[in-house]
Amino acid sequence: MALNTEVAADTNAPAITRILAQFVATHPSRGWSDAVDHEAHRTFLNWLGCAVGAARHEAVGAALSAVQMLQPAPQAQVLGRSDRLDMASAALVNGISSHTFDFDDTHLKTIIHPAGPVASALLALAECQGASGRALIDALVIGIDVSCRVGNIVYPEHYDRGWHITGSTGMLGAAAGCARLLGLDVGQTTMALGIAASQPVGLREQFGTMTKPLHPGAAARAGLMSALMARQGYTASPRALEAPRGLLQVVSSKCDWAQASDELGQRFEISFNTYKPFACGIVIHPSIDACAQLRAQGIKPDQVERIELRVHSLVLELTGKKEPADGLAAKFSVYHGCAAGLIFGQAGEDEFSDAIVNRDDVVALRRKVVATVDESIDEAAADVTVVLRDGRSLRVLVEHAIGSLQRPMSDAALSAKFHALTDPLLGVARSAELIAAAWSLGDSADLHGLTALARP
Amino acid sequence: MALNTEVAADTNAPAITRILAQFVATHPSRGWSDAVDHEAHRTFLNWLGCAVGAARHEAVGAALSAVQMLQPAPQAQVLGRSDRLDMASAALVNGISSHTFDFDDTHLKTIIHPAGPVASALLALAECQGASGRALIDALVIGIDVSCRVGNIVYPEHYDRGWHITGSTGMLGAAAGCARLLGLDVGQTTMALGIAASQPVGLREQFGTMTKPLHPGAAARAGLMSALMARQGYTASPRALEAPRGLLQVVSSKCDWAQASDELGQRFEISFNTYKPFACGIVIHPSIDACAQLRAQGIKPDQVERIELRVHSLVLELTGKKEPADGLAAKFSVYHGCAAGLIFGQAGEDEFSDAIVNRDDVVALRRKVVATVDESIDEAAADVTVVLRDGRSLRVLVEHAIGSLQRPMSDAALSAKFHALTDPLLGVARSAELIAAAWSLGDSADLHGLTALARP
């Protein structure tokens, strides 16, 4: 028998579980600027396109086959497929799908992908409950605020320790959003957050396997169920987040409590959300962007003698694969990224297909990329000079890549990204209808029209 | 953008995910002594009685109501109730039920309650799949071996940090057991453990709330689903347990890897499982035991002038409530424990009811208990002297309470405990049938007879 009664350091943490629950339960509908509300639509649109686009991936198929062993009731739509599942299973599978291409949104302050856990839980619940689009958008803003604020409390120590922060904070965002959508009161919402606190999901060791996208999916499911249980009177500690043996002190040695309440209800973390224009790790984006700009200036691949790339050491450390054998490996090759940017002007899932990665002209061009480390260049920047056969050279310096907070993707670019993801499954016309439905989500009476459009 | 590439200390950990998977997938059926096989039956019986006994508790009712929102298919039985649920939800609810009274089994080396996550997942899966009782017992021994060995690797640091180790290792035991029951090969079993590794459940902050018993329930569910997903080809890191950013280095600074493989397949952790004779925290058990022994020697409450209790300081620190107001508080009162032992000779759920706790004779007797701290007495011991009105005094020294490894509950005592838990729900005759079915589980062709008996 061994019983240890010592407790961790901070016994005086503010009551953030309750503070956040109060915000979730009582903040007014659309109690934010039009810019925040528009950002919520952008977040939803981007998440939806990613989920539909990956629907045929084998990870989604495997998860779906497992869930079907439970003979689930047809309550909610699996995006991009004909299947319907009970709402918790739909939250799981759509959450997996939305993160499978690693093409979803990023809260850069914490590297959280916030929509996966939150939107996946909310759409399934909203569809099943007949909630309005406005209620969903409200819950999305609020749920993402909760998970990202919690991320701000513990980042970076929590992430450095090995947690995949998307899934280890996402269940709280999903619980918060679902509590809001269910109309739970402050006490019940406190319990929902408390129940979810015991269920963090995700290890960085899983990166590169199907279990990485399981993290937002399982977090979506856990958060949704936590809210349903709280509604039925299930109890948890009202200090489940902040107590010495509560979630945050257990999973992080850094706990900056003020991040929970600073400008709560005034500053919304969804404002800091970003969307990837390119279907690969974010450190390659400035290099792709620079090469796409060179293409826009009229440079053709057959004019190129070599491409001189100067980047921070981290870029080569993370994405230094010179000869990627397939699409997955190419996502870790800044060389392939440069070739794709110059040849195609873009780098979506298509440009990371095995066929493209092994196409002769692509292979030839990436071999002309000469990368040099320059620590004076920021991790988020790239300095690219193309030297042409005729002796001329052109230089493009990208300080902030397209898709960064400083240079956000335009609404049109987000729609185009959506088309590229969904046209192969839904066709161009249906994709356009789905895009329109997503842009006007806040005005829709319910979600049935939107989910029907996401069924091929 | 912030990307951190540093890793934790131990990059050379042995491949324990794979080592354990190899054991799970290939160890022979009943590849252990008769004593181990009998202990598995005792573990199952004790778990089953606890789950049936708590079936009407409000925690179970609330969880069930939430799950029913998913309109689950009737694949598996909820123990002690008429409801049937899909197998994953049945695993969840039975797992909650089995730990609600805190009366289930304890692996004392780690304070893991091993049966909750493992048996709850296995019974639901076995019933649904039509597996034999032998297959279930095999999977129970093997699943518990995995979760307790993992517990041995990280205990006590992991527990001290604030994790409720039952749920944060239990999903691995459940995944291992279900992988075994499904007949997964070594590779698939490695994936099942890997998928489960991303889903630890449980914080000690939740003690005293319904979320405490959620931990084994959610772990059961997560482990079962991990095995089903692995069977469908879902992938995870094959080093999900031991890698620098794998589960164990993320949740513990103590990682004694040898605990995974030492005498693997020869020594079985289920041999070290224990069962509580009393429905309260284990530090009170020696005092109750001593008082019950005094009762057996013929001492009546009205003869008592006072009860002098000498115990380790931890006993009063954890269970020093002098005037418990209700049954829940009485579980933290060694004074009530002594009174119950002397008056009733036992301390099951009934002796912790609000009515008994407030009965005049019980209150009067517990006020006669004088507790003194004596650090020379072990935490697992108690030194009790009863001073009678006639001036005589009798002393009982309990070095190891009934229910400890040194003085295990007899099979007859386990059956009696089962009756006390289940007779009010099932009746005496049905309880006796269910007990008989549990004792002969290893010989039964399937689980349908047993689960039908557990339906009131």
* Predicted pLDDT at A328: 81
Q: Which residues of B touch A61 (CB under 8 A)?
A: 232
* Predicted pLDDT at B9: 66
| Minimal-distance CA residue of chain B relative to A272 | B1
Indicate whether B298 and B178 sit together in one domain: no
Determine contact, residues B273/B107, Cβ cutoff 8 Å. Answer: yes
* Predicted pLDDT at A318: 86
* Predicted pLDDT at A209: 94
Q: Are strands A106-107 and A84-85 parallel, antiparallel or unpaired?
A: unpaired
Q: Could B234 and A205 be called an inter-chain contact, meaning their C-beta atoms sit closer than 8 Å?
A: no
Q: Is residue A9 very low, low, confident or very high in pLDDT (cuts 50, 70, 90)?
A: low
pLDDT at residue A56 above 70?
Answer: yes
Q: Is B320 touching A (CB cutoff 8 A)?
A: no
Determine contact, residues B271/B39, Cβ cutoff 8 Å. Answer: yes
What is the average pLDDT value for chain B, to the nearest integer?
95
* Predicted pLDDT at B5: 42
Q: Is residue A6 very low, low, confident or very high in pLDDT (cuts 50, 70, 90)?
A: very low
For A78, B113, B127, B190, B191, the CA distances from B184, given in Å and listed in that order, are 28, 25, 18, 9, 10
Q: Which residues of B touch A200 (CB under 8 A)?
A: 200
Sign of CA dihedral A352, A287, A215, B156: positive
Q: Is A428 touching B (CB cutoff 8 A)?
A: no
Indicate whether B251 and B321 sit together in one domain: no
In this structure, is residue B416 part of a structural domain?
A: no
Q: How many CB atoms within 10 Å of residue B382?
A: 31
Indicate whether A21 and A167 sit together in one domain: yes
Provide the number of structural domains found in chain A: 2
A162, A198, A214 ranked by CB distance to B215: nearest: A198
The letter for the amino acid at A278 is F
Element (H, E) at B307: strand B304-311
- What's the N-to-C CA distance of chain B in angstroms? 58
* Interacting residues of A427 by C-beta distance below 8 A, sequence separation 6+: none
Q: Which residues of B touch A127 (CB under 8 A)?
A: none
Q: Distance between CA atoms of B215 and A300, rounded to whole angstroms? A: 60
ipTM of the modeled complex: 0.94
Coil, strand, or helix at residue A218?
Answer: helix
Q: Could A198 and B208 be called an inter-chain contact, meaning their C-beta atoms sit closer than 8 Å?
A: no
The letter for the amino acid at A8 is A
Residue B253 Cα, gap to closest chain A Cα (Å): 11
B62, B70, B228 ranked by CB distance to A88: nearest: B70
Read off the pLDDT of residues A236-247 as tens digits, 9 standing for 90 and up: 999 999 999 999
In this structure, is residue B1 part of a structural domain?
A: no
pLDDT at residue A3 above 80?
Answer: no
The closest alpha carbon to B233, from A99, A353, A209, belongs to A209
A206, A218, A380 ranked by CB distance to B236: nearest: A206
Supply A81's token pair.
């497929």
**Which of A64, A164, A178, A206 is best to mutate for the B interface (most B CBs within 10 A)?**
A206
Give me the percent of chain A exceeding a pLDDT of 70. Answer: 98
Q: Is residue B332 very low, low, confident or very high in pLDDT (cuts 50, 70, 90)?
A: confident
**Neighbour-count burial of A356, counting CB atoms closer than 10 A to its CB (0-12 exposed, 13-18 middle, 19+ buried):** buried
Coil, strand, or helix at residue B82?
Answer: coil
Read off the pLDDT of residues B175-211 as tens digits, 9 standing for 90 and up: 999 999 999 999 999 999 999 999 999 999 999 899 9
Read off the pLDDT of residues B375-432 as tens digits, 9 standing for 90 and up: 999 988 999 999 999 999 999 999 999 999 999 999 999 999 999 999 999 999 999 9
For A208, B14, B242, B258, B406, the CA distances from B10, given in Å and listed in that order, are 21, 10, 9, 14, 37
Q: Distance between CA atoms of B212 and B202, rounded to whole angstroms? A: 7
User: What number of C-beta contacts closer than 8 Å exist between A and B?
Assistant: 231
The closest alpha carbon to B178, from A182, A66, A61, belongs to A66
pLDDT at residue B233 above 90?
Answer: yes
**Neighbour-count burial of B439, counting CB atoms closer than 10 A to its CB (0-12 exposed, 13-18 middle, 19+ buried):** middle
In this structure, is residue A347 part of a structural domain?
A: yes
B214, B237, B283 ranked by CB distance to A195: nearest: B214
Under DSSP, the state recorded for B198 is: T
Supply A265's token pair.
């209800």
Indicate whether B77 and B177 sit together in one domain: yes
In this structure, is residue B408 part of a structural domain?
A: no
Determine contact, residues B9/A289, Cβ cutoff 8 Å. Answer: no
Residue range B13-39: mean pLDDT, rounded: 98
Q: Distance between CA atoms of A343 and B340, rounded to whole angstroms? A: 82
User: Cis omega before residue A156 (within 30°)?
Assistant: yes
Compute, in degrees rounded to 10, the torsion defined by CA atoms B145, B148, B154, B156.
-150
Read off the pLDDT of residues B380-395 as tens digits, 9 standing for 90 and up: 899 999 999 999 999 9
Indicate whether A246 and A312 sit together in one domain: no
The letter for the amino acid at B195 is I
Compute, in degrees rounded to 10, the torsion defined by CA atoms B350, B353, B357, B360.
-80
* Predicted pLDDT at A4: 42
* Predicted pLDDT at B328: 81
Indicate whether A269 and A291 sit together in one domain: no
Q: Could B162 and A1 be called an inter-chain contact, meaning their C-beta atoms sit closer than 8 Å?
A: no
Q: Could B283 and A108 be called an inter-chain contact, meaning their C-beta atoms sit closer than 8 Å?
A: no
Residue range A55-78: mean pLDDT, rounded: 98
CA A231 to chain CA mean position, Å: 28
Determine contact, residues A426/A438, Cβ cutoff 8 Å. Answer: no
Any idea what the CATH number is for the domain that residue B383 is in?
A: 3.30.1330.120
Residue A8 Cα, gap to closest chain B Cα (Å): 7
pLDDT at residue B4 above 60?
Answer: no
H helix count then E strand count, chain B? 21, 8
Determine contact, residues B181/B17, Cβ cutoff 8 Å. Answer: no
Boundaries of domain holding A330? 282-398
For A3, A53, A108, A130, the CA distances from A113, given in Å and listed in that order, are 39, 17, 9, 26
DSSP of B99-168, one letter per residue?
HHTS-S-EETTTTB--HHHHHHHHHHHHHHHT--HHHHHHHHHHHHHHHHHHHHHHTTHHHHTTB-HHHH
Q: Distance between CA atoms of B309 and B396, rounded to whole angstroms? A: 10
pLDDT at residue B6 above 50?
Answer: no
List, as ranges, residues 106-165 from A with C-beta within 8 Å of B: 108, 111, 155-156, 159-164
For A125, A442, B7, the CA distances from A49, given in Å and listed in that order, are 19, 17, 34
Q: Is B82 touching A (CB cutoff 8 A)?
A: no
In this structure, is residue B427 part of a structural domain?
A: no
Q: Distance between CA atoms of B62 and A42, rounded to whole angstroms? A: 37
* Predicted pLDDT at A5: 42
DSSP of B385-412, one letter per residue?
EEEETTS-EEEEEESS-TTSSSSPPPHH
* Predicted pLDDT at A88: 98
Any idea what the CATH number is for the domain that residue B241 is in?
A: 1.10.4100.10
Q: Is residue B3 very low, low, confident or very high in pLDDT (cuts 50, 70, 90)?
A: very low
In this structure, is residue A422 part of a structural domain?
A: no
Indicate whether B382 and B251 sit together in one domain: no
| Minimal-distance CA residue of chain B relative to A204 | B245
Q: Distance between CA atoms of A64 and A93, rounded to whole angstroms? A: 7
pLDDT at residue A106 above 50?
Answer: yes
Element (H, E) at B369: strand B369-373
In this structure, is residue B410 part of a structural domain?
A: no
Under DSSP, the state recorded for A353 is: S
Indicate whether A226 and A83 sit together in one domain: yes
Q: Distance between CA atoms of A283 and B286, rounded to whole angstroms? A: 61
Residue range A294-307: mean pLDDT, rounded: 97
Q: Could A163 and B203 be called an inter-chain contact, meaning their C-beta atoms sit closer than 8 Å?
A: no
Residue range A214-242: mean pLDDT, rounded: 98
The letter for the amino acid at B35 is A
In this structure, is residue A36 part of a structural domain?
A: yes
Q: Distance between CA atoms of B277 and A179, rounded to whole angstroms? A: 40
Indicate whether A250 and A323 sit together in one domain: no
Determine contact, residues A321/A335, Cβ cutoff 8 Å. Answer: yes
Supply B339's token pair.
């009174």
pLDDT at residue A39 above 60?
Answer: yes
Least confident window among A71-80, A447-456, B3-12? B3-12
Element (H, E) at A385: strand A382-388
Q: Exposure pattern of B125-137 as b/e (b: 16+ CB <10 Å)?
A: bbbbbebbbbbbb
Residue range B309-315: mean pLDDT, rounded: 94
Q: Is A56 touching B (CB cutoff 8 A)?
A: no
Indicate whether B235 and B334 sit together in one domain: no
Angle between helices A133-154 and A115-129 (to 10 degrees): 150
Residue range A300-315: mean pLDDT, rounded: 96
Q: Could B249 and A162 be called an inter-chain contact, meaning their C-beta atoms sit closer than 8 Å?
A: yes
Indicate whether B40 and B142 sit together in one domain: yes
Indicate whether A101 and A178 sit together in one domain: yes
